[in-house]
Structure 1
Amino acid sequence: MFFHVQNLINDIVADEPDPAAANALQEGLGGQFGEMRTMMQYLFQAMNFRGPDGKPYRDLIQGIGTEEISHVELIGTTISRLLDGSPQYQGKPTDPLDKPGSGGATPLNIALDHSNIHHYLVGAQGALPVDAVGNPWSGSYVYNSGNLVLDLIYNLMLESTGRLQKCRIYEMTDNKTARSTISYLIVRDQAHENAYAKALETLGINWKSALPIPKTNAEKFPEVKKLLDLGLQSKQYTFDLGNQSQAGKIFQGLSPSNDGTELDASEQAPAGVPSVIAPERFEEFSPGLDPELLALIQATAEIESAEVTLSFGPLEKGPAIKPVG
């Protein structure tokens, strides 16, 4: 089973909207080496895992796959925030929809030449399950050979390539919103490189001269250096409520990155930060629940509640839905 804590795994720093950065980040979400790929690949490998004696390896892969779910949430939310409005348009709910925004800007003109137009035509200024050129994410990306060594090698390659791409995306933008997420994922990709390299070390392969891949000297990125100084590249979480994970049998000892740190799998999960729902986008005709729809929802809820009461007796009432806007 999976449980959802309504926190983001890392804070997203506020900055101006940047649709071009949002589109670059789509590669890190829905590209061949993006977060949707890592999430699905590791979860399928864990579900299909065979051999009870290999449980520590299954637990390691499953724990990383579970973390990748939160990475999909983080990067998708970041893309949405980068698309939320435009630098020239700060429209108000009371504005006519055809009224130009501040500075004479048409509300959605930025969609024409600064981004993936589908973010505005299809996604209402939100993330999409596509890569940076709009190709839909494909299940054919998922590699699950059934052979432990092959899968671990492939996973290490996947994390290394994903980290390489995120380092490139970092250098494409100076937007603080984008960089706060990119830098976190660069460091966590290194942690996952370490995890799979350590697993392969237990099978006789020494990676100390090769890792981290790529040799980016990522400490030159100030946001990355702060996280490396915290040792985030050498932590791996279990995301295991039942305290049954054996991943710590593998994720221990000196880091394969040869940076002098010790691997630590003692934490269940990071603390995270509060998750905030974005405001409505009236120029996208996505205003949330209007008063008429709210009234219909309340009426329907009262009918359904009455039916439940007839069958099971009165239930405790929760808070009523409050109008939006």
Structure 2
Amino acid sequence: MFYHDDELQYEVEVEEPNPKFAKMLQQAIGGAEGEMRVALQYMFQAFAVPAEKSEYRRLLMETATEELGHIEMLATAVAKNLQGASDEQREAAREDAVIAEMMDSGQPRQALSAGLHAMPVDSNGTPFNGGCVVASGNLAADMYANVMAESTGRLLATRLYEITDDPGMEDMLSYLIARDTMHQNQWHAALETMDDHVPVPNSFPQEKENQDHNYEFMSTYRDEQPDPEERWTQGESVDGNGEFSYGEQPGGGEPDLDEVIEAMHNEIN
């Protein structure tokens, strides 16, 4: 069950509206690093958490709901950057050839389809793709995916921060960056509560793995190369269940395919 409040999670002010920056902010909404991705990712992960792991469900659902608030903040920022831009600002932007091209071919749908508001798309205008949502049903795997999601999200927010010089946008992005810091840390903390979760999934019996190659760094050079003697080629494995080694691809002979079935019509005439 969800409840809505008209108040923004954090204030959004734009002192100098900038339509170019509005397009960039779209990446933080509907991009692969954006808030739609993490909101849905955490939500669908929470849906799969069993009753006996309710603490993780709450962690995921509370964060997913927070991320919905971030979408609302960014959508507000996009609208304020678009609707408040003067004709002089729009024309001044065209003095730069690169910016002029962005203005002409970037996201006309923000005006044509959305009336100068945000859309569920990335900075190129590509609709959000749920295929980037990771919800595997395995808590450990999902937490690692969440660390990556928050890392790339924080990276995007810091890049946007460096691009803008608007004090209001800097303040909003500073808040979002801070939340990304917390979320990275909370997913790491959640992983620390899970005993013996590496390798993921830890429920698969490791004795069924190929014991010759399960801790071997495999060189793919054609010519034999010496062991570089790095942390990942020697010494104890990170999970403590083996020893790293260095080797080459074992080789499996030429492909020997069976004849295809007639119904596929793959014959060569």
Interval containing the TM-score (normalised by the shorter chain): 0.5 to 0.7
**Displacement, 1:110?**
11
The code of the aligned residue for 1:166 comes to A
* Secondary structure of 1:7 counterpart: coil
User: Taking structure 2 as the reference length, what is the TM-score of the superposition?
Assistant: 0.65
Partners of 1:89 and 1:6 in 2: CA distance: 33
Q: Which of 189, 192, 195 in structure 1 is aligned with 2:186?
A: 195
* Secondary structure of 1:69 counterpart: helix
Query: What does residue 58 of structure 1 align with?
Result: 57
The code of the aligned residue for 1:196 comes to W
Q: Which of 135, 146, 151 in structure 2 is aligned with 1:155?
A: 146
Matched, 1:69 2:60: no
The answer to whether the 8 A contact 1:143-1:151 is kept is yes
**Displacement, 1:184?**
1.1
Q: Which runs of no fewer than 5 residues in structure 1 stay unpaired?
A: 91-100, 104-108, 206-325
**Higher-Rg member (1/2):** 2
The code of the aligned residue for 2:189 comes to K
Query: What does residue 78 of structure 1 align with?
Result: 77
The answer to whether the 8 A contact 1:13-1:177 is kept is yes
CA distance change for structure 1 residues 40 and 115 in 2, over 3 Å: closer, same or farther?
same
Partners of 2:128 and 2:40 in 1: CA distance: 11
1:100-249 maps to which residues of 2 (within 5 A)? Answer: 112-113=103-104, 116-204=107-195
Partners of 2:13 and 2:123 in 1: CA distance: 22
Query: What does residue 87 of structure 1 align with?
Result: 86
Query: What does residue 42 of structure 2 align with?
Result: 42
Partners of 2:168 and 2:119 in 1: CA distance: 18
Q: Which runs of no fewer than 5 residues in structure 2 stay unpaired?
A: 93-99, 197-269
**Displacement, 1:194?**
1.2
* Secondary structure of 2:68 counterpart: helix
CA distance change for structure 1 residues 174 and 196 in 2, over 3 Å: closer, same or farther?
same
The code of the aligned residue for 1:200 comes to L
The code of the aligned residue for 2:2 comes to F
Give % identity. Answer: 39
Residue correspondences, number: 190
Post-superposition CA distance 1:152-195 (Å, at most 9, x none): 11011101110011111111111233222211111111111111
User: Taking structure 1 as the reference length, what is the TM-score of the superposition?
Assistant: 0.54
CA distance change for structure 1 residues 150 and 143 in 2, over 3 Å: closer, same or farther?
same
RMSD: 2.6
The code of the aligned residue for 2:82 comes to L
The code of the aligned residue for 1:26 comes to Q
Partners of 2:162 and 2:66 in 1: CA distance: 25
The answer to whether the 8 A contact 1:19-1:114 is kept is no
